[in-house]
């Protein structure tokens, strides 16, 4: 395969845009994951049971996933730049307005609206990377975006728990929304590059439906989207309730819970681009199955009741399992979309966030039976799909140069 050469000046502009997209991704995932560790605090402030407050997590994630379908289609029709900037602006405004909530019902409503408003940024950033970088260089670029996701998870959880005593939960939302506005200003200079990278694709409703049929009409498409869905159920279910587990099992304060969760996301934040380069060089077939097995092993270690000092390492292993799977699935999806990159990535993020929401709900539904039962079921399911992945993704090898 002949390696595509990007002109140096254009490459510099691409790299700057890539880092700004990664920052925007970081902020959005930061605010998504800063909520889980403060569920006990919100329960006290809102005078509501923990199980009820926990519903604000799927209240954000599920509408986010559903809305990505519309944003992807809209971006293909009117342009990625228009939809992305409007979505980032909506995210910023709605996150700030969340601080005005006075009850759990109001908080859930603002989270629902924020999920809808925010969902046009990250999937379109991923689709844009698919336009800016050739497939053989795409793993590294996607590693930046997914590394930013992991970083948002890693720092959103502990920072949320650490700063709430100082600035209150309202201040936390004001801070995240203000950062969104700063990113919106910084990205404005890259608007022409975004607009030129992905031209609008017109079509009828029949064209859209045929697009979905083509995406799911191949074995490669079906297995990739299926694994995105199942893997997201696992990671969201475990992580959403991990803070509650640590508080109850180890009798930790919210601040200590945040510190214990710091390991989650660090591998992706530090190693995301390196994992992407490894996928470009050696193929996703060698990384995806081991990533799935790493996630299952992480939950197995929780079942073994490790000492508290090892919990951050267990969280890091769970994060590594995510970082070796979802970014690589995203790379495959960018090769499936053809001219309708927004539609393909919209379906990917829809699948991802619906899985996130259902995973949180499923684990919560299992909690009355005990954390051991819930962890055990999630662990076995992840290990099974990990073993099956050796055969399912054996063809995902780099093309010979």
Mean pLDDT of 182-205: 78
Distances (CA, A) of 312 to 66, 157, 268: 32, 12, 14
The pLDDT, as a whole number, for residue 3 is 37
C-alpha–C-alpha distance, residues 261 and 158, integer Å: 6
- For 354, residues 6+ apart whose C-beta sits below 8 A from its C-beta are 61, 62, 65, 66, 229, 232
Q: Kindly state the DSSP code that residue 218 receives in the 8-state scheme.
A: S
Cα–Cα distance, 298 to 196 (Å, whole number): 43
- Confidence band for 8, pLDDT divided at 50, 70 and 90: very low
Residue 318 near residue 298 (C-beta atoms within 8 A): yes
User: What is the per-residue pLDDT for 389?
Assistant: 96
Dist CA 200 CA 364 (whole Å): 42
**147 band by pLDDT with thresholds 50, 70 and 90:** confident
pLDDT in tens, 19-65: 999 999 999 989 887 887 777 778 888 888 877 887 888 888 888 88
- Give the single-character DSSP code of 398: P
Position with higher pLDDT, 158 vs 247: 247
**What is d(CA 179, CA 164) in angstroms, rounded to the nearest whole number?**
17
Farthest-apart Cα atoms in the chain, separation: 62
The 10s digit of each residue's pLDDT in 198-233 is 665 555 656 667 777 888 888 999 999 999 999 999
- pTM, rounded to two decimals: 0.73
Enumerate domains of the chain plus CATH numbers: 8-196+215-392 (1.20.1250.20)
DSSP class per residue in 10-54: HHHHHHHHHHHHHHHHHHHHHHHHSSGGGHHHHHHHHT--HHHHT
Tell me whether residue 131 is exposed, middle or buried, using C-beta atoms within 10 angstroms of its C-beta: 0 to 12, 13 to 18, 19 or more: middle
Going by C-alpha positions, the residue among 326, 329, 269 that lies closest to residue 295 is 326
Cα separation, 304 vs 299, whole angstroms = 9
């Amino acid at each position: 395969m002949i390696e595509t050469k990007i002109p140096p000046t254009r490459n510099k502009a691409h790299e700057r845009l890539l880092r700004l997209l990664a920052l925007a991704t970081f902020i959005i995932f930061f605010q998504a994951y800063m909520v889980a560790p403060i569920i006990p605090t919100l329960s006290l402030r809102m005078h509501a049971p923990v199980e009820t407050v926990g519903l604000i997590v799927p209240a954000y994630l599920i509408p986010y996933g559903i809305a990505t379908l519309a944003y992807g289609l809209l971006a293909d029709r009117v342009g990625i730049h228009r939809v992305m900037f409007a979505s980032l602006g909506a995210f910023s405004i709605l996150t700030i307005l969340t601080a005005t909530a006075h009850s759990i019902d109001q908080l859930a409503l603002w989270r629902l609206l924020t999920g809808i408003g925010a969902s046009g940024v990250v999937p379109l950033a991923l689709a844009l990377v698919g336009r800016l970088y050739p497939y053989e260089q795409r793993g590294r670029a996607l590693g930046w975006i997914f590394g930013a996701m992991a970083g948002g998870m890693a720092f959103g959880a502990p920072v949320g728990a650490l700063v709430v005593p100082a600035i209150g939960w309202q201040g936390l939302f004001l801070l995240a929304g203000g950062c969104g506005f700063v990113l919106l200003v910084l990205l404005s200079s890259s608007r022409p590059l975004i607009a030129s990278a992905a031209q609008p694709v017109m079509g009828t409703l029949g064209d859209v439906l045929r697009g979905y049929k083509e995406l799911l009409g191949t074995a490669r498409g079906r297995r990739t989207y299926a694994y995105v869905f199942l893997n997201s159920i696992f990671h969201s279910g475990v992580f959403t309730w991990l803070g509650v587990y640590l508080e109850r099992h180890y009798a930790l304060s919210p601040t200590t819970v945040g510190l214990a969760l710091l390991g989650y996301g660090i591998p992706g934040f530090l190693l995301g681009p390196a994992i992407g380069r490894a996928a470009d060089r050696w193929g996703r077939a060698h990384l995806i199955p081991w990533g799935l097995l790493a996630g299952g092993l992480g939950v197995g270690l929780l079942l073994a009741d490790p000492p508290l000092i090892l919990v951050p390492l267990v969280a890091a292993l769970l994060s590594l399992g995510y970082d070796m799977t979802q970014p690589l699935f995203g790379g495959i999806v960018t090769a499936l979309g053809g001219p309708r990159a927004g539609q393909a990535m919209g379906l990917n993020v829809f699948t991802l966030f619906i899985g996130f929401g259902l995973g949180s709900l499923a684990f919560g539904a299992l909690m009355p039976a005990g954390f051991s039962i819930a962890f055990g079921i999630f662990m076995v399911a992840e290990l099974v799909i990990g073993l099956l992945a050796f055969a399912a993704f054996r063809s995902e090898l780099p093309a010979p140069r």
